[in-house]
């Protein structure tokens, strides 16, 4: 970067800091950097890295463009994908999570919300697997973004109250089954996992979350609903459950393995003594409750398991099978982050509660309530040499 760019960046930072009445030390503490780093940037002696620029802009309640200007093209950053990305140039949402970045592909059902969503970056290297970090060239500097995974279509309602915070926090949703959401949380790829997994007995989410999150965390309530059999209205007469639907030869639309809706279907089939492999449509897979309802409404299937709100949204018949709690699981490693603290703040907002209550079939009574604290699982200590030597040795003379 040229000396001219460094001087402009330094002047912009100094003016923004002074306009807020902050000393270099105060801004350094707010941004989590050293005072010397602030001094070097303001004097034009150095340019901030992308992460330092991001933290400074966040502390001042500004975007990076506002603080430092558009500048030259940003160098690619390493980002961990939540699922395998496309080839070079694939559009992604790019968000800071923990000490690095995550990339969420904008493709298929995640590419739009009634129109194309803005991308945060483009992949800068050929395709790879899920575990392999990829270089992503930011289109715009990454902003503080709450990254959530889960299947509840009400999760995007969080976007508005988060954007109204001062300074604002962006929102990105990765729709996926509950078990996959917990896997992503355990891998440090999302700030929050939305789940509705039945544990032992009638308990929801606490047991499965404790099992899949060895580092511990919190379970926070979001909403409750009924889950059941969704049908085309003209086919609902005489159907009292999954057994009747299958005996009538109705075509199913199913959810992915790891989805609680698929587990509900499997439990109902098992109790009725029905072989799932013989059912038309059992091997189909869609992601999300609204997608099940959309397939039935479009005539691509006759029945499926989904939430009551999804059935009501498409004017379909609904037969309740179980009452479920959809909770938010917050891994301990992200508990103190700005993104998670912002989430906890907006969960009690009047706007969000009113929006959830306005959706037919949703019960937001537990929204924002702490359901459980998940302690970290103790790691098994490695055996010492003395413990190894104290074990009985096999008698080779036998």
Render pLDDT for 199-248 as a digit per residue (tens, 0 to 9). Answer: 877 688 899 999 889 899 999 999 999 999 999 999 999 899 898 888 88
SS3 149: strand
Positive or negative, the CA dihedral 290, 291, 292, 294 is positive
User: Mean pLDDT score of the chain, rounded to an integer?
Assistant: 85
Q: What is the pTM of this model?
A: 0.71
Q: Residue 330: beta bridge partners? A: 218
Given a cut of 70, whether residue 2 has pLDDT beyond it is no
pLDDT top residue among 397 and 48: 48
At 309-362, the pLDDT tens digits run: 999 989 999 999 999 999 999 999 999 999 999 999 999 999 999 999 988 899
Give the separation between CA 98 and CA 330, rounded to whole angstroms. 13
pLDDT for the residue 130: 65
Residue 38, H or E segment? helix 35-42
Average pLDDT of the residues in 148-159:
93
pLDDT for the residue 167: 80
pLDDT for the residue 381: 56
Positive or negative, the CA dihedral 46, 49, 50, 55 is negative
pLDDT for the residue 7: 63
pLDDT for the residue 111: 52
Give CA separation, 385 vs 50, 382, 389, 390, 391, in Å: 47, 10, 6, 9, 10
Average pLDDT of the residues in 79-102:
83
Task: Give the least confident one: 83-92, 122-131, 147-156, 261-270.
Answer: 122-131
Task: Give the least confident one: 109-113, 294-298, 359-363.
Answer: 109-113
Given a cut of 80, whether residue 271 has pLDDT beyond it is yes
Given a cut of 90, whether residue 162 has pLDDT beyond it is yes
Banded pLDDT at 373 (limits 50, 70, 90): very high
């Amino acid at each position: 970067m040229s000396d001219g760019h460094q001087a402009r960046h330094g002047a912009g930072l100094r003016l923004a800091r002074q306009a807020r009445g902050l000393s270099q030390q105060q801004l350094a503490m707010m941004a989590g950097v050293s005072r010397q780093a602030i001094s070097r940037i303001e004097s034009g002696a150095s340019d901030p890295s992308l992460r330092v620029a991001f933290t400074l802009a966040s502390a001042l309640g500004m975007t990076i463009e506002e603080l430092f200007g558009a500048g030259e093209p940003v160098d690619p950053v390493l980002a961990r994908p939540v699922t395998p990305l496309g080839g070079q140039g694939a559009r992604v949402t790019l968000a800071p999570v923990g000490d690095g970045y995550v990339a969420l592909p904008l493709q298929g059902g995640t590419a739009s919300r009634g129109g194309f969503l803005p991308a945060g970056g483009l992949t800068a290297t050929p395709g790879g697997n899920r575990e392999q970090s990829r270089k992503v060239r930011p289109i715009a500097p990454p902003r503080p973004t709450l990254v959530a995974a889960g299947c509840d279509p009400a999760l995007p309602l969080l976007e508005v109250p988060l954007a109204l915070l001062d300074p604002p926090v962006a929102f990105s949703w990765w729709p996926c089954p509950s078990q996959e959401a917990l896997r992503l949380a355990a891998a440090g790829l999302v700030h929050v996992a939305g789940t509705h997994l039945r544990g032992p007995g009638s308990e929801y989410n606490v047991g499965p979350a404790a099992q899949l999150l060895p580092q511990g965390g919190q379970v926070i309530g979001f909403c409750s609903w009924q889950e059941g059999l969704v049908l085309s209205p003209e086919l609902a007469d005489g159907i009292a459950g999954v057994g009747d639907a299958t005996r009538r030869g109705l075509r199913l639309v199913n959810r992915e393995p790891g989805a609680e809706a698929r587990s509900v279907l499997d439990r109902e089939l098992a109790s009725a003594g029905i072989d799932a492999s013989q059912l038309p449509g059992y091997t189909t897979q869609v992601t999300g409750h609204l997608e099940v309802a959309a397939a039935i409404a479009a005539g691509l299937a006759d029945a499926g398991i989904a939430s009551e709100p999804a059935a009501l949204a498409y004017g379909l018949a609904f037969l309740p099978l179980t009452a479920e709690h959809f909770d938010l699981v917050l891994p301990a490693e992200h508990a103190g982050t700005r993104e998670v603290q912002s989430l906890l703040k907006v969960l009690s907002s009047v706007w969000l509660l009113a929006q959830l209550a306005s959706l037919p079939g949703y019960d937001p009574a537990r929204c924002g309530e702490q359901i459980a604290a998940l302690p970290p699982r103790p790691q098994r200590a490695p055996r010492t040499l003395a413990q190894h030597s104290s074990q009985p040795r096999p008698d080779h003379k036998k």
